Every structure is written in structure tokens, then in C-alpha cells.
Amino acid sequence: IMKVKKICCIGAGYVGGPTCSVMACKCPDIQVTVVDLNKARINAWNSDQLPIYEPGLDEIVQKHRGKNLFFSTNIDDAIKSADLIFISVNTPTKTYGIGKGRAADLKYVESCARHIAAVSTGFKIVVEKSTVPVRAAASISSILSSNKQSSTSYQVLSNPEFLAEGTAVENLVNPDRVLIGGEKSPEGNAAVDALAEIYANWVDPEKIIKTNTWSSELSKLAANAFLAQRISSINSMSAICEATGADVGEVANAVGKDSRIGNKFLQASIGFGGSCFQKDVLNLVYLCEALNLPEVANYWQQVIEINNYQRRRFANHIVSSLYNTVYGKQITLLGFAFKKDTGDTRESSAIYVAKYLMDEGANLKIYDPKVPSKQIMVELEHPTISECPEKARELIDVCDDPYVACQGAHAIAVCTEWDMFKTLDFEKIFNSMLKPAFIFDGRGILPYEKLLDIGFEVLLMGKCPRETVLRKQYFPSCNFK
Ligand code: UDX
Ligand code: ADP
């Protein structure tokens, strides 16, 4: 088996950074260099303030940086000296041209492939880590082989990353599985084995799955689509619960007890966010259309439709509860990240809730323990969200204290499930708000019996509130004992 001694990872983002840090930590004999075009990002990786927040990551980087883990903008040298190159650049949904709004944009992957071809000599294993459409490895191979120098040869592998943000280090150290796809040939198998050997330094060989390249690429899309589908399924149930008096938490618990179904990913919410789920499902839909499988495409498209519906429904609940107008009213959003324990806001449902409320003329105060105010404004000033940046700035006030954010509010909307929100002093918050004081818990995390006792009007996704003004007004069909 070929021994990999030097690894280069192109792309120092949410995937490349943590993955290579853990790899360096678990393989002291391998030198790992993470490179990026973005100088500011590399500087941050080399500083005390890492560009991304992940529990446990700081310690690993501190321990290995400068020893067998390096962050650099010298992409050429890192490629030249590496035996194995990971491509972990971003593959956002296309915002232009064919496949706009659905297909993954592969321009960054392609530019990496061209860069590798331009500077490489000898044999290289090139590994796609970014989530890519099925058959992207074939495109990378074609670019590499059409541009290669005579002495150079490549094997292209697919090794998708399944880490979730906020638990990246834990997922990397203790993965459910490692998936490696390669060409079914002696050379392909040898390259797959070389990569598997790296993981075998800390992963049980039984968990290392070897497949053909396309199975590996499709499995990544399929895994994310199945997870997203569970969330849309439970969110669709939450709408039925509100209309009938069933409780979505009780339904999720009863359904999840079936060992064939399992109890994870059944938390009703304001919809899934993050850089992966929507992008990957849309990517799958686009793939099905391209393959002339319209029934399959429609099936997966519904996962997205329900997610959009849930975001809209949450905002509509707020507007209708506040006597059908939020114009000029102060609404406080608690949480802006797409989930707890991360500062990432990509595709966060909070963005869309904020958009719908801004469209209605509401004034928003926003508090998130981790997301910088600049980042919140970048998301909300985006032309797809606000009429114009001035309008966004006029309506939005980002606060660095949850109590200040709630002062004088007509309503609070919980958009991210941060643990700290569960233990806020709600008596103090209630006393500082306008009455009736509304709380819309889009994550189902607050102690709502206690909130009702304090005097709040409480609304949860998929749960009819106890005997309150809201319930009588908006849930007349709720069939309560
Ligand atoms: C996801 C996959 O979990 C991971 O395997 C893949 O590699 C990348 O995409 P991530 O986007 O980091 O990871 O977060 P995840 O924990 O999956 O949550 C995604 C979204 O779904 C979040 O907005 C979360 O709040 C929401 N969610 C999750 C729910 O609304 N309900 C649930 O029960 C679970
Ligand atoms: P992900 O969540 O997939 O890791 P990110 O956007 O966090 O995505 O990170 C991708 C990184 O890849 C960015 O820091 C970007 O600057 C970098 N990148 C994109 N294209 C190239 C390229 N051709 N060469 C080097 N780095 C690149």
C-alpha cells in the first residue's frame, strides 16, 4: 500500500479546516497543509482567533499548528509537494445561467483541478471532499488528464464529509462511517487503499466503506436528502397538530420509538438551515431532471417546499397573533445562527423569518450569542432579502444582550435553539415587554408551562397552547380536554 506522507487540502473552510486539523492530530507522521486563496482566512487560522467556532477545535489546532499542521496561501508549493490533495472548496447553488437556483456551482472545484494540473508533477491522489453532483469526479479526472504534463498521473477519489457543524470534531474523531469511492481498477483500488490507510490510524476498519466513485458521490446527496426529509416530515406533522390539538413532541416521541424509524432528527422547528441540506436536495432534484426522472425530482422537491412553508407559517403565526399587523412593532429574534453551537448563518431560517417580518414593516431587535452583528447585517441587507440596505438598517437593531433585545418588545421569536435561552430570567423579560407579551418558540426549547404561569402568550410549532387568549382566538378547532 502506498504511504501518504504529505497532504494538501485546498479550501480552509468549515470542511477543510476541521477535517485536516483532526487528521494532523491523529496522524503525527503525516504533514498536513491547508491552503486557501483567502489571505484573511489563512491569517485567522494562524492566529488565536480561528475563523470558525467548533467545540474542541482550538485545542487541536494549538497543539499541532507549526508541527505537522500548516495553514498557508502558498497553494503551488503545497500542491507540488503533496502525495494526496483534498479539494474542499465551496460548491454553492448556482445563482445564474443553466440550473440557476438548483444546480451546484462547480467553478471553484474546476479552478482547483486546473490549478493542480498546472503545477503537479509525478503521481497524485486527488480527493473530492466538497459535496458535488454525481459524476463530478469524472469532470475533475477529465480536466486533470487533458492538462497534465507527460510525467504526471492521477487517481481521483470521492471521500465525502459527513460532519455536522457544532459537533465537527466529535464527528471527525468518531465517525459513523468513512466513505471512499474510486475507480474499479488496480490503480483505483490502490489509491482507495492509500486513503483508507490514513483513516485507519483512528477509525475502525469496519467503518471504512469502499465503493465505486458514483455510489460515493450519490450516497452523500442521499444521506443529506434523507435527513432533510425527516425534518420536513415532522414539520408537516406540526401543521396537522396545530389544527387538531395533537402535540408534535408526543407524536415524534411515539413515532421515534419504532427502532426502524429511530428518534433522531424529529424535532419540529422553523425549518432546516445550513449550507448543506437545501443545496444538496436541490442538487439531487436537478440531477433527477437532467436524468429525465421527473417523478423522482418532484418527490424530493417537496422536501424543500415544506421547509419554505414552515418558515412562512412561523412568520404568519407572529403576524396573525399580533392582531394582523406588525407594522412599526418591535419583535425580538432570539438566535440567528442556523442551529446552536455555531456562528454559521448560511441559509438560516432566521433570515427568512426576518425577511417576512421586515416585509410587514416590523422593527427587529436581534440577539445571537455567537453571530457577529456584521454577519447578521450582511445576510439581511442581501438584495434577495431586503428592498435595499438602507431599509434593512432602518428596521434592524442587533443587540449584544438578550435582556436589552427584549426590552419594550411586543413579541419574542426564538429562532435558534441555544441552551442559554432556556435559562433566561423570563420574569424580568416579561416585566420589560409590552402586554400582552408574546413568545413564539420556533424551536420548542423554552419551559413553556412556566412562561404561561408568568403571563406570557406562548405559541409553539406543532403544539396548541394551554387556555390562553391566543388559543381561543386562533385555534378554535383545537380539541382540548
Ligand atoms: C448536515 C448533516 O447533518 C451532515 O451530516 C452533513 O455533512 C452536512 O449537513 P449541518 O448542516 O451542520 O449538517 O447541521 P444539522 O445538525 O444536520 O442541522 C441542519 C438543520 O436542521 C439545522 O437548521 C437544524 O436546526 C435543523 N434540524 C435538525 C431541525 O430542524 N430538526 C431536527 O430534528 C434536526
Ligand atoms: P465549506 O463549508 O464547503 O468548507 P467554505 O465556504 O467554508 O465551504 O470554504 C471554502 C473555502 O475554499 C473558502 O475559504 C474559499 O476561499 C476557498 N476556495 C475556493 N476556491 C478556491 C481555490 N480555487 N483555491 C483555493 N481556495 C479556494
What is the chain's pLDDT, residue by residue, as a tens digit (481 residues)? 799 999 999 999 999 999 999 999 999 999 999 999 999 999 999 999 999 989 999 999 999 999 999 999 999 999 999 999 999 999 888 889 998 888 888 999 999 999 999 999 999 999 999 878 778 888 999 999 999 888 899 999 999 999 999 899 999 999 999 999 999 999 999 999 999 999 999 999 999 999 999 999 999 999 999 999 999 999 999 999 988 878 999 999 999 999 999 999 999 999 999 989 999 999 999 999 999 999 999 999 999 999 999 999 999 999 999 999 999 999 999 999 999 988 899 999 999 999 999 999 999 999 999 999 999 999 999 999 998 999 999 999 999 999 999 999 999 999 999 999 999 999 999 999 999 999 999 999 999 889 989 999 998 999 875 555 455 555 555 444 3
Does the annotation count 399 as an active-site position?
Answer: no
Position in ligand 2 atom list of the atom nearest CA 38: 16
Annotated binding residues, as ranges? 11-16, 36, 41, 89-93, 130-131, 165, 276-279, 346
Return the residue whose CA atom lies nearest to atom 13 of ligand 1.
164
Position in ligand 1 atom list of the atom nearest CA 349: 23
Position in ligand 2 atom list of the atom nearest CA 17: 4
195 lines ligand 2 (CB under 6 A): no
Grid cell in block for residue 281: 436536495
Catalytic residue among 276, 406, 415, 464: 276
Compute the distance from residue 470 Cα to the ligand 1 centre, in Å.
Answer: 31
Return the residue whose CA atom lies nearest to atom 31 of ligand 1.
267
Measured between alpha carbons, how far is 298 from 293 in angstroms, rounded to an integer? Answer: 9
pLDDT attached to residue 465:
59
Compute the distance from residue 273 Cα to the ligand 1 centre, in Å.
Answer: 7
CATH H-level, domain 6-203: superfamily = NAD(P)-binding Rossmann-like Domain (3.40.50.720)
Asked if the domains 6-203 and 304-475 are classified in one and the same CATH topology, the answer is yes
pLDDT attached to residue 479:
46
pLDDT attached to residue 466:
52
Question: Which residues approach ligand 1 with their CB closer than 6 A?
Answer: 161-165, 224, 227, 231, 265-267, 269, 272-274, 276-277, 338-339
Annotated binding residues for NAD(+), as ranges? 11-16, 36, 41, 89-93, 130-131, 165, 276-279, 346
Position in ligand 2 atom list of the atom nearest CA 11: 12
Compute the distance from residue 384 Cα to the ligand 1 centre, in Å.
Answer: 23
Compute the distance from residue 272 Cα to the ligand 1 centre, in Å.
Answer: 7
Q: CA quadruple 412, 278, 264, 250: dihedral positive or negative?
A: positive
**Model pTM greater than 0.95?**
no
Where does 304-475 sit in CATH, by number?
Answer: 3.40.50.720
pLDDT attached to residue 103:
86
The number of the ligand nearest the C-alpha atom of 171 reads 1
The number of the ligand nearest the C-alpha atom of 233 reads 1
In the chain, domain spans: 6-203, 304-475
